[in-house]
């Protein structure tokens, strides 16, 4: 399958109820293929508006950590970004919910699997606990190696040890970048 076909299959998706309240389906940011595929949880407001993953405040923090890890490892890995679900999850009042509903995660697993096959990464980085659980579950047959990092939104929310969490995430990513095999 090519990106063009993937995009066509999912860009107007109405397989689950999240389609009713979203603005844009959020598919992928980055180039295919990539060394590392980062899988977040769900699009936020900025992502829903522009149709790209990790472009809001959490995404900006993640990009800063990635840049620092690239610099300290001296390795320029290619990274693409997606989410466990492609649409922003909202409640009855139109506010974003903390977690996407299980039926949306299940319906969207075919999209995640498809995009992971397109990306052919050496590593899948699960961004946050929900992604850690569902990315492993969805991609278990594809033979990827998984790594977990704390969700940058959780870092932004935390009142204590922000710097420590940033430092630890940078170290995890630096070590991972150093183990990417160059082709
Ligand atoms: N933006 C995303 O695209 N995914 C997240 O998990 C958080 C913010």
Residue 30 near ligand 1, beta carbon < 6 Å: no
Cα 59 to ligand 1 centre (Å): 7
What is the reported pLDDT for 144? 97
What is the reported pLDDT for 1? 77
Residue segments in the chain with a per-residue pLDDT below the cut of 70: none
- How far CA 114 is from CA of 10, 16, 44, 50, in Å, comes to 10, 17, 22, 22
Instruction: Note if the pTM is more than 0.95.
Output: yes
Residue 46 near ligand 1, beta carbon < 6 Å: no
What is the reported pLDDT for 183? 76
Residue 56 near ligand 1, beta carbon < 6 Å: yes
Pairing between β-strand 79-83 and β-strand 36-40 as defined by DSSP bridges: parallel
Residue 121 near ligand 1, beta carbon < 6 Å: no
């Amino acid at each position: 399958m090519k990106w063009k076909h993937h995009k066509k299959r999912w860009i107007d998706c109405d397989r689950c109820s999240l389609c009713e309240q979203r603005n844009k389906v959020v598919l992928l940011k980055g180039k295919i293929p990539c060394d590392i595929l980062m899988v977040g949880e769900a699009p936020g407001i900025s992502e829903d508006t522009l149709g790209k993953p990790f472009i809001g405040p959490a995404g900006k923090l993640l990009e800063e950590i990635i840049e620092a890890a690239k610099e300290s490892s001296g390795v320029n890995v290619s990274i693409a970004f997606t989410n466990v679900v492609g649409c922003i999850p909202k409640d009855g009042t139109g506010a974003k919910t903390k977690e996407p509903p299980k039926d949306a995660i299940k319906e969207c697993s075919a999209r995640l699997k498809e995009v992971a096959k397109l990306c052919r990464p050496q590593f899948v980085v699960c961004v946050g606990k929900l992604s850690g659980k569902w990315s492993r579950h969805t991609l278990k047959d594809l033979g990827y190696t998984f790594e977990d990092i704390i969700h940058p939104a959780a870092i932004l929310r935390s009142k204590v040890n922000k710097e420590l969490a940033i430092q630890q995430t940078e170290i995890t990513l630096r070590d991972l970048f150093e183990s990417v095999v160059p082709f």
